[in-house]
Each structure stands twice: as structure tokens, then as C-alpha cells.
Amino acid sequence: MDNLPDELLLDILGRIKRTTDRSSVSLTCKHFHKLANGLRTSIRVGCGLHPASDALTALCNRFCNLEKVEIFYSGWMSKLGKQLDDHGLLILSSHCPSLKDLMLSYCTFITDAGLSYLASCSKLASLKLNFAPRITGCGILSLVMGCKGLTVLHLIRCLNVSSMEWLEYLGNHEMLEDFCIKNCRVIGEGDLIKLGSTWRKLKRLQFEVDANYRYMKLYDRLAVDRWQKQWIPCENMLELSLVNCVISPGRGLACVIGKCKNLEKIHLDMCVGVRDCDIVCLAQKSSNLRSISLRVPSDFSLPLLQNNPLRLTDESLKAVAQNCSLLDTVRLSFSDGEFPSFSSFTLNGILMLIQMCPIRELALDHVYSFNDVGMQALCSAQYLQILELVRCQEITDEGLQLAGQIPQLCILRLRKCLGVADDGLKPLVGSYKLELLVVEDCPQISERGVQGAAKTVSFKQDLSWMY
């Protein structure tokens, strides 16, 4: 092979998909080693990057065509050496001309100066920052102004990002497709209006508010009122996830929920103020909806509920069942209150979804209305493959024994269910109908009782949650 041109050798090496196999071939000779290094387009490094600047320089020189870089310092301690800092980001920007995707997790030493270096990465399309406490809005602004092709931006626990000029710039630029804000304390629902016409491009939005921080102060209603007369062009939204948000009737995020006509996946977790009319509007607009996840507050589990009572009932589930014929994933959950609200989802509402939609995956958490009658109904769910029951205390052994009669069921997960014991799993033992059985923290089920109940079994027992 010594006489083969490099172009042909690169094509041959490129057909080797497994990294371990390609590394083995690269050890054959120095020439193969050099060519294989040139084919490497991604790296993931952690606390072992020491000394950070020297090690990063060596990696960038070795792999000259890097497009994706992930650096994470989870579990870092000072004795592990100095972390990546702004100088490290300068090395990345100058040594990786093909850089498109960058993820930095727990890189607590980087500042706005480091982000200004990244602004020279003209090909950067995706940036994800997880816990970068020294970054501010000025640094984000310098980066988005330099990286004109940025389509993915995730900011998670960036606690000092306060200035919102970068949001306005993104709103005018109309390039962003995937936007994630989680637990950035200063950024609230009202600030999202600054995305302006960029809403038209967004395909995925994840917005999560720090619940502990939110409920320590009064909610700024004026910020939401600014949305009242705004038109939100979000017809291209495919995935929407809102956590701990305040939904104000007829404005703000309530308008977004009702206008996503191409939405395929929605997740609403502890969003105070969501009403039946919001979900009904969503169902009527989003006929392509495939996945819905609702975690709703129990009565009095949040201070705001005293003046803003829970408004989700079976009417929401009925609208989804009647309008979303492609729905295959449903997750329903209540918060950790004493008892879920009596006005919320009942067994009849859940059964409507099961009977009218091709549900492939069903997960219920703290849904006390689901009982043995519900398990009997699942026996006619011809598409159901994955069933997860968490803290569903009304299900007994009699109901659990029916799991073996669900036609396509192959994965069953049971967590913290008090009413089921080994007897409930007996019909499954030896049948090997299930591919996977997961039992966690169910006090009446023993490790012996799960043996042979599925091809693969996972059993864990920690009952500290009960005390």
C-alpha cells in the first residue's frame, strides 16, 4: 500500500467507522498514523486535560480537522491541576479553523475575554455552556456578533448573564434554530419577546426557570404584559419544553403554546397557570404532535397556586385524544404534594388517550387515579411497548398480573409502587415476554421475585424515600 496516493488511503481509512479499529490501523506506521489523525473530527476531554493549555495545544496539533470539541470538568478539584481558561479558548480558536460544535461544562475559569476569542470561529454553529458563572451578557454578545452562523445556543446555569442586548441581536439576525435557557436566574419569560422575528426560525426551545429562585421573589407581571399585543411567529417549532414557568392567560408563552402548528413534542413541567383552553388550542393546532409530557402541581404545593389554581382537567386529555392521531408518547406526573388535585386527570381521561391514540410509551408518576381497572384497559392497547409506573399506589398484584396480557409490551419499569409484591410478577416469570424489567424501591418486591421475569432484569432497593 506504500504506492497508493493519500487520497485513496484516506478513503479507505474513512470507511472504518469504529474509532478503536481506526486507532489500531493507525499504529501500523507513522504515515497511517498521520492520515488517521486527520480523519478525527471530534474529541471529548475532561479533568485529565493537564496542564490544560499544553495538552490542548498538543491535541489540536495532532487532530488538525476537529469540528466538534467537548470539554467537561465535572468532579474537578484543585489538586487535579489548573482548569481550562481564556488562553485555552484562544488556542481552540486559532488551532481549530473547522470548529463547528463546542460544549463547555463546568469550565468555571473562562470569562467574557475567552468568548471574545471564540468570536473569530467563523464556522461555529453550536455552542453549549453548562455552568460558566463568570460569563456575562457582554461575552455572549461579542460571540454571537462574531459567529454569524450560530444556529444552536444552550446556556445552562450561567448565573451572571444579565444584559439582554445579545437576545435582541439574535432576534434581528434570524439564524437560531435550537435555543436552550436553563436556570439562568436573571433571564425571565418576558425577555424571550426580544427574540423577535427569530421565533420564525426556531425549531426547538427549552426554557427552565430556577424554581427556588423564582418563588423567593414576586413575579414581575409587567414583563409578561409586554407580550400582550405581540405576534409570535412560531409555526416552525417542533419541540417545546417549559419548566417552572408562569403562563399568563392570553399572552406570552400561552400564545406560543397555541401557535405551534407543526409541534411534534411538548414538555410542560410545573408551569403555573396552564389552563385547559391552552392545551385544547395546542391540540387543535398541532395535529403532528407525537409526544406530550405534563407534570402538574398538586394543590397548595406552590405559593402561587393560592391565587392561581390548577386548571388542567380531562378536557385537555380529551382534546389531545381527538385531534392528535399520531401521538405515541405520553408522560403524566403530579408533584410531590399530599394528594393530586381532585380536578385534574382522572382514569377516564387517561383511557381516552389509550383508546384513541397509537400510544407506544406511557409513563405515569404519582397518578393515584390509575388503578387495576386502568391496567385491564391496557390489555387492549395494541401499540403499547413501554410502560413506566412510578408511585402509582392504587395498582395491586391483581392489576400487575395483567401486564403479561398487553400485546406488544416489552419494557416495564416499576418505581416506588407500594401496592405490588412478588405475586404480581409471577405470570411473567419464565415467559420472557419482556425484554427489560426495571424494579426500583418497591418495598414488597424482592430480588428473588424478579428473577426470570424478563430477558434483562434490573433491581434496586433503597427505601429511604419512605421515611
| Residue 64 near residue 90 (C-beta atoms within 8 A) | no
Does 305 score more than 60 pLDDT? Answer: no
**Number of Cβ atoms within 10 Å of the Cβ of 196:** 18
Distance, in Å, from the CA atom of 166 to the CA atom of 157, rounded to the nearest integer, reads: 17
Place of cell 386529555: 317
For residue 282, the SS3 value is helix
3 state SS of 347: helix
Average pLDDT of span 263-278: 91
Once rounded to an integer, what is the mean pLDDT over residues 110-132?
A: 95
Give a yes or no: residue 357 inside a domain. Answer: no
Give the residue from 148, 155, 156 showing the smallest Cα distance to 124.
148
Mean residue pLDDT across the chain: 87
DSSP reduced 3-state for 225: helix
User: Considering the domain boundaries, does residue 21 fall inside one?
Assistant: yes
3-state secondary structure of 93: helix
Nearest to residue 389, comparing CAs of 339, 337, 333? 333
- Burial-class residue 75 by CB neighbours within 10 Å (0-12, 13-18, 19+): exposed
| Closest-CA residue to 257 (of 54, 372, 239) | 239
Residue 308 has pLDDT above 50, yes or no: no
What burial letters (b/e) apply to 84-122, b meaning 16+ CB within 10 Å?
bbbbbbbbbbebbeebbbbbbbbbbbbbbebbbbbbebe
| Percent of the chain at pLDDT exceeding 90 | 60
Q: How confident is the model at residue 404 (pLDDT cuts 50, 70, 90)?
A: very high
**Which sign, positive or negative, has the C-alpha torsion 45, 46, 48, 50?**
positive
In one-letter notation, the amino acid at residue 357 is C
When pLDDT is averaged across residues 209-213 and rounded to a whole number, the result is: 80
Is 6 contained in some domain? yes
Report pLDDT for 227.
Answer: 58
pLDDT at 411: 98
Q: Is it the case that residue 141 has pLDDT exceeding 60?
A: yes
In 174-249, which residue ranges form alpha helices assigned H by DSSP? 211-214, 221-225
Evaluate whether residue 25 is within a structural domain: yes
**C-alpha neighbours within 13 Å on the C-beta side of residue 120:** 13
Whichever domain contains 14, its CATH number is 1.20.1280.50
CA 361 to chain centre: 17
Which residues contact residue 243 at a Cβ distance below 8 angstroms, ignoring those fewer than 6 apart?
182, 207, 208, 209, 267, 269, 270, 271
Residue 293 is predicted with a pLDDT of 97
Contact 321, 353 (CB under 8 A): yes
Residues 188-204 pLDDT 10s: 888 888 888 899 999 99
pLDDT at 49: 82
Domain that holds residue 7: 1-39
Q: What pLDDT was estimated at residue 36? A: 62
pLDDT at 300: 41
Model pTM score: 0.87
In a domain, 22, yes or no: yes
Helix, strand, coil abundance in the chain, percent, nearest 5: 35, 20, 45
Alpha-carbon distance values, 99 to 12, 37, 134, 337 (Å)? 24, 16, 23, 47
Q: Please check whether residue 13 lies inside any domain of the structure.
A: yes
Distance CA 145, CA 406 (A): 55
If one counts the domains in the chain, the total is 1
SS (H, E, C) 423-454: HHHHHHCCCCCCCEEEEECCCCCCHHHHCCCC
DSSP secondary structure, 2-70, as one string: TTS-HHHHHHHHHT---HHHHHHHHTS-HHHHHHHHHH--EEEE-TT--SHHHHHHHHHHHSTT--EEE
Q: How confident is the model at residue 345 (pLDDT cuts 50, 70, 90)?
A: confident
Give the Cα separation of 282 and 201 in Å (integer): 19
The reply to whether 35 falls in a domain is yes
Q: Residue 85: enclosing H or E segment and its boundaries? A: none
Q: Is residue 27 part of a domain?
A: yes
> Left, alpha or beta for 300 (phi > 0: left; psi -120 to 50: alpha)?
left
Closest CA to 269 of 250, 248, 297: 297
